[in-house]
Amino acid sequence: MNLKLAKRIEDLPPYLFARLDNLRREKEAQGIDVISLGIGDPDLATPNEVIDELAAAANNPRYHRYNDSGLESFRQAISEWYKKRFNITLDPNEEIVPLIGSKEGIAHLPLALVDPDDYVIVPDPGYPVYSIGAQLLGGKVYSMKLRPDCGWTPDFSAVPSEVAAKAKLLWINYPNNPTAAAGSDEVFQQAIEFGLNNDVVICQDAAYSEVTFDGWRPSSILNQRGARDCCIEFHSLSKTYNMTGWRIGWAAGNATVVEAIARVKSNIDSGAFAAIEEAGIAALKLDHSWIQARNNILQQRRDKVLSALRSIGLDPEVPSASLYVWTPCPSGHSSSEFAARLIEEIGVLVTPGVGFGPNGDTHFRISLTTSEELLQEALDRIAGLNIL
C-alpha cells in the first residue's frame, strides 16, 4: 500500500520538543549523560488538595459519563477566580469555555474563525502552536517581530495593511514564553486598538499569569476597555498549579468567540473527564499562599541560573514571570550552534531561540523546571564552560 499522509501534516515541522528529545536520546546512546533544561514542564508537585479531590470525584459514577460543555460548577469556579484575582465579572455560561489543556483550545481556535487564505498574526519568537493551528487549516501566518529594545513587545503599526485587512486572529502572550517578558497594560491597549480597527480577534495567552517573581501580579487583558468586544484570554492550570499532565484550562472573554470555540469542540471532543474539572475547582479555590510558596522556589532557581550565566560573562534577561531565563548567545553563535555546543561539550540541553521563530535565533532559553540537584549540576557544568 502506498500510504500518503495529508499535505498539511507532511508540511508541518516536527514539534520543537520532540526534535530536542531525539537529540538528547542520540547523545545518551553515545553514553553522554544529558541534563535537560529544555521543556517547560513543572517538576514540582500538584497540590495535595487537588489530587485528593480527583480521587474522591473519580469514585462518583455521575462523573463517568459524557461531560460535553463541562461542569457548571467548574465554569462558576473560573468566574469566581476571575472576580477574586482580577475583579472581573464573567458570565460562566456565555463568557467562559473549559478546555482540555489550553494547547487544545489554542490549536482549535482557528477552526472557528480562520478560512483558507485568512491571516493569523503571531509573535516571533512565540509559542509554536499559534502558527501551527493556523497552518493546519491552510491559513496564512504573518510573524510580528518582538523587539528586544521594547521589552519583547511588537509594533502593531508595522503590520502591513493588506495583512491586517485579511487577518482574523492576532496572538499575544504575556508574561511571555520564551522571552519571559512582562508585557504591560499599554501593550494590551495597543493590541485591542489594532483588533477593533481591523476586526481582528485579539488572543492573549495568559498561561504564566500566576508564575511570577518578586511578588508581581500581572493584570488581565480583560481589564482593558474594549476587551469584551475583541479579546479572548487563555488560561491553564498547567503552569499555575503544576498540572501539565492533567490537561485542563479555559478560554474567557468575547461571548461570540467563546460560543464558536464551544461549537467547534462539541463536534470534536465530548468534554474533559468531569472528575478532573472537580479537581480543577479545588485548585482554583486554593489560597494564594500556595502559589506564593511555589513561586518562591522558582525564584531561587531563577537567581541561581542568573548568577551562573553571569559568571561566564553572559547577560541574561531578568524574568519577572514565567518558567524561563532568556539569554543572548555569546557573540558569533547562532542559537542552534550554541545549543549544540552546550550539549556536545557539557551535556546540557537548552532550547535554541530559533525554535520559537527566526527572530529568536539570537537567544537561548533555560527552563526552571528541573530539580534543585540536577539544576545545580547543570549550572556547575555551565560555570565551567569556556565560551570564548
Ligand X SMILES: *Cc1c(COP(=O)(O)O)cnc(C)c1O
Return all residues near 271 (Cβ < 8 A) that are at least 6 apart. 66, 67, 68, 69, 70, 98, 100, 265
103 binding ligand X? (CB under 6 A): yes
- Please state the closest distance from residue 38 (CB atom) to ligand X, in A: 13
Closest CA to 178 of 354, 14, 372, 49: 354
Of 326, 313, 308, 310, the residue nearest 379 (C-alpha): 308
H/E stretch holding 261 reads: helix 255-266
* Strand partners for 120: 141, 169
Q: How far is the CB of 99 from ligand X (least distance, A)?
A: 7
Distance, in Å, from the CA atom of 60 to the CA atom of 266, rounded to the nearest integer, reads 24
In the complex, what is the shortest distance from the CB of residue 82 to ligand X, in angstroms, rounded to a whole number?
Answer: 17
Binding of ligand X by 108 (CB under 6 A)? no
Residue from the set 207, 232, 306, 366 that interacts with ligand X by CB under 6 A = 207
Q: Which residues pair with 364 in a beta bridge?
A: 327, 352
In the block, residue with C-alpha cell 471532543: 269
Residue 102 binds ligand X, judged by CB under 6 A: yes
161-180 footprint of ligand X as x/- string (CB under 6 A): ------------x---x---
Cell of 109: 481556535
Supply the DSSP symbol for 231.
E
CB of 127 to ligand X, least distance (A): 4
C-alpha cell at 256: 461570540
CB 110: neighbour CB atoms within 10 A?
Answer: 25
Pick the closer one to ligand X by CB: 40 or 70.
40
User: What would the x/- binding string for ligand X be over residues 15 to 54, using CB under 6 A?
Assistant: -------------------------x--------------
Q: Does 209 bind ligand X (CB under 6 A)?
A: no
Contact indicator for 279, 115 with CB cutoff of 8 Å: no
Q: Which three cell numbers stand for residue 373?
A: 540537584
Q: Interacting stretch for ligand X, rule CB under 6 A, among 155-163, 232-240, 251-259, 280-288?
A: 232-240
- Which stretch in 71-79, 141-149, 236-244, 331-339 sits in contact with ligand X by CB under 6 A? 236-244
Side chain identity at residue 333, one-letter code: H
Least spacing, CB of residue 105 vs ligand X, in Å? 8
CB of 114 to ligand X, least distance (A): 18
Smallest gap, in angstroms, from Cβ of residue 101 to ligand X? 3
Q: How many residues bind ligand X (CB under 6 A)?
A: 14
Task: Using the minimum distance from each CB to ligand X, give the nearer residue, 200 or 272.
Answer: 272
With binding defined as CB under 6 A, does residue 127 bind ligand X? yes
- Which helix (H) or strand (E) segment holds residue 50: the answer is helix 48-58
- Kindly tell me the sign of the dihedral angle through the C-alpha atoms of 126, 249, 217, 228: positive
> Closest approach of Cβ 40 to ligand X, in Å?
6
Task: List the interface residues with ligand X, window 244-273 (CB under 6 A).
Answer: 244, 249
> For residues 102 and 224, which CB has a smaller minimum distance to ligand X in the complex?
102
State the Cα–Cα distance between residues 179 and 187, nearest whole angstrom: 15
| Footprint of ligand X on 308-367 (CB under 6 A) | none
Pairing of strands 119-124, 140-147: parallel
Kindly list the residues in this chain that would bind ligand X in the complex (CB under 6 A): 40, 101-103, 127, 173, 177, 205, 207, 236, 238-239, 244, 249
